[in-house]
């Protein structure tokens, strides 16, 4: 096919169309070009907002938040705990609870107990005996019972001091001792706490078995509770057997049985991680151990106060094993009457026996 040559008119019309479309493109481009500034501003503002958001959330926080998701990876660690996880989220939650509510609120409980005991001392003073001691005594606790008591009590004091200092050391001891000083102390405190804990547990269990017979409820216990143990009045002292209702409820059942078993069981879990318990179990045990221990220390502060300076003649029971007859009549009259019926001898070797009954 032979292509015909373009005529002059056709060439002119073609050049006109090209010039028209070119002019149109120039006009449209000239109109649209200023709008690109708005696009730039919009993009710049979006980038600024994104940068501000990243600064508000802290890039490092975003990083650790991703790490704490617990996605499995690879680590060289092995053992009874979860492996191949860089950071366990439960550990961070445990740390926040331990260093937050546990370490922040529980010290106030101890402070309130100390304050209450101080106010009671100022208001009531030492509870004196109604009658001065005559020299006659009655056996209260045997040698085996006293050795068991002091064995457990001494370990309790050591564990309480070391445990509380480790729990509250960040807020209290580091400002006083400095990081290096507290680190040196903490290494000794941890060793004492871990090694003496099982020996203390043995003492607690033996005390529960040995003294449960004295802690069984009796009819007179409720009357003792209603009278507040005679601590807040000047009237007659409530009746009590070998141990009173307060000692039964707070010292034995709440202290030794509930809190004691909780503290010993959780301490055993943390002391021997090779038993195969999970990391979560260790963390929960640590929280229970800390809370129960502080409550137990608060109870024992009251127990030690009442058994030493608050009541005249009470300390003799666990130091000498014998108490004055006047003390026994005043604080544990039902027990004293029982001892009289058994014919218990006094310190001078004279039997303290009931008066003979007359025929009716």
Question: Could you report the per-residue pLDDT of 110-162, keeping only the tens digit for each?
Answer: 999 999 999 999 998 889 999 999 999 999 999 999 999 999 999 999 999 99
Angle at 71 between CA 69 and CA 76, to 5 degrees: 125
Contact in structure between 329 and 130 (CB atoms under 8 Å): no
Nearest C-alpha neighbor of 331 from the set 239, 250, 217, 245: 239
Q: Would you state the pLDDT for residue 199? A: 97
Looking at residue 321, its pLDDT comes to 95
33 versus 155: the higher-pLDDT residue is 155
Residue of higher predicted confidence among 177 and 290: 290
- What CA–CA distance (Å, rounded) separates 125 from 54? 63
Q: How far apart are CA 128 and CA 122, in angstroms?
A: 14
pLDDT digits (tens, 9 = 90+) for 210-235: 999 999 999 999 999 999 888 887 66
Q: Is 294 helix (H, G, I), strand (E, B) or coil?
A: helix
Q: Which range (18-32, 203-217, 269-283, 333-347) has the least confidence? A: 18-32
Weakest mean pLDDT among 89-93, 179-183, 196-200, 207-211: 89-93
Tell me what the mean pLDDT of segment 182-198 comes to.
93
Show the tokens assigned to 5: 């040559």
Q: Which carries the bigger pLDDT value, residue 103 or residue 218?
A: 218
Is a pLDDT exceeding 90 seen at residue 86?
Answer: no
**pLDDT at 187 exceeding the cut of 80:** yes
Residue 20 pLDDT: 53
pLDDT in tens, 295-317: 999 999 999 999 988 999 999 99
Highest average pLDDT, of 19-28, 40-49, 196-205, comes from: 196-205
- pLDDT attached to residue 77: 54
Q: What is the DSSP letter of 343?
A: T
**pTM, two decimal places:** 0.73
Task: Give me the percent of the chain exceeding a pLDDT of 70.
Answer: 70
3-state secondary structure of 311: strand
CATH topology of domain 97-342: Fumarate Reductase Cytochrome B subunit (1.20.950)
For the chain, give every domain's residue range: 97-342
Checking if the pLDDT of 198 tops 50, the result is yes
The confidence score (pLDDT) of residue 38 equals: 46
What number is the average pLDDT over the span 158-171?
A: 89
> What pLDDT score does 173 carry?
80
Rounded mean pLDDT, 199-214 = 97
- Taking the CA atoms of 208, 212, 217 and 223 in sequence, report the sign of the dihedral they define: negative
What is the average per-residue pLDDT within 330-345?
86
Q: Using a pLDDT cut of 90, give the percent of the chain over it.
A: 49
Structure tokens at 342: 């058994």
Query: What are all long-range contacts of 276-282, with beta carbons under 8 Å and residues at least 24 apart?
Result: 276/80, 277/80, 278/80, 278/81, 278/82, 279/81, 279/82, 279/88, 279/90, 279/91, 280/90
Average pLDDT, the chain: 80
* Residues written for the chain: 360
Q: How confident is the model at residue 82 (pLDDT cuts 50, 70, 90)?
A: low
Residue 44, pLDDT above cutoff 80 = no
């Amino acid at each position: 096919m032979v292509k015909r040559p373009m005529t002059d008119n056709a060439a002119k019309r073609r050049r006109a169309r090209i010039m028209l479309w070119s002019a149109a493109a120039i006009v449209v481009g000239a109109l649209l070009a200023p709008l690109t500034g708005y696009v730039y501003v919009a993009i710049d503002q979006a980038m600024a907002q994104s940068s501000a958001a990243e600064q508000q959330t802290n890039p490092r926080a975003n990083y650790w938040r991703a790490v704490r998701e617990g996605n499995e990876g690879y680590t060289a660690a092995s053992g009874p705990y979860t492996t191949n996880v860089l950071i366990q989220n439960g550990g961070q939650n445990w740390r926040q609870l331990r260093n937050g509510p546990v370490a922040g609120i529980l010290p106030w409980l101890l402070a309130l107990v100390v304050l209450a005991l101080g106010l009671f001392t100022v208001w009531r003073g030492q509870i004196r005996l109604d009658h001065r001691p005559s020299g006659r005594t009655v056996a209260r606790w045997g040698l085996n019972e006293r050795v068991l008591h002091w064995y457990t009590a001494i370990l309790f004091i050591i564990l309480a001091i070391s445990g509380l200092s480790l729990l509250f050391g960040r807020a209290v001891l580091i400002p006083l001792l400095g990081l290096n000083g507290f680190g040196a102390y903490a290494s000794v405190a941890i060793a004492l706490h871990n090694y003496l804990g099982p020996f203390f547990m043995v003492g607690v269990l033996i005390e529960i078995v040995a003294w449960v017979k004295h802690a069984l409820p009796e009819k007179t216990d409720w009357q003792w509770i209603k009278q507040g143990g005679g601590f807040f009045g000047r009237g007659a002292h409530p009746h009590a057997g070998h141990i009173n209702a307060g000692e039964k409820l707070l010292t034995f059942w709440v202290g030794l049985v509930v809190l004691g078993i909780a503290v010993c069981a959780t301490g055993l879990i943390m002391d021997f991680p090779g038993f195969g318990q999970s990391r979560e179990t260790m963390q929960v045990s640590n929280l229970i151990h800390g809370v129960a221990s502080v409550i137990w220390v608060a109870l024992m502060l009251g127990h030690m106060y009442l058994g030493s300076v608050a009541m005249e003649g009470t300390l003799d029971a666990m130091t000498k094993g014998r108490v004055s007859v006047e003390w026994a009549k005043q604080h544990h009259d039902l027990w004293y009457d029982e001892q009289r019926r058994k014919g218990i001898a006094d310190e001078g070797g004279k039997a303290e026996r009931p008066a003979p009954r007359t025929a009716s």
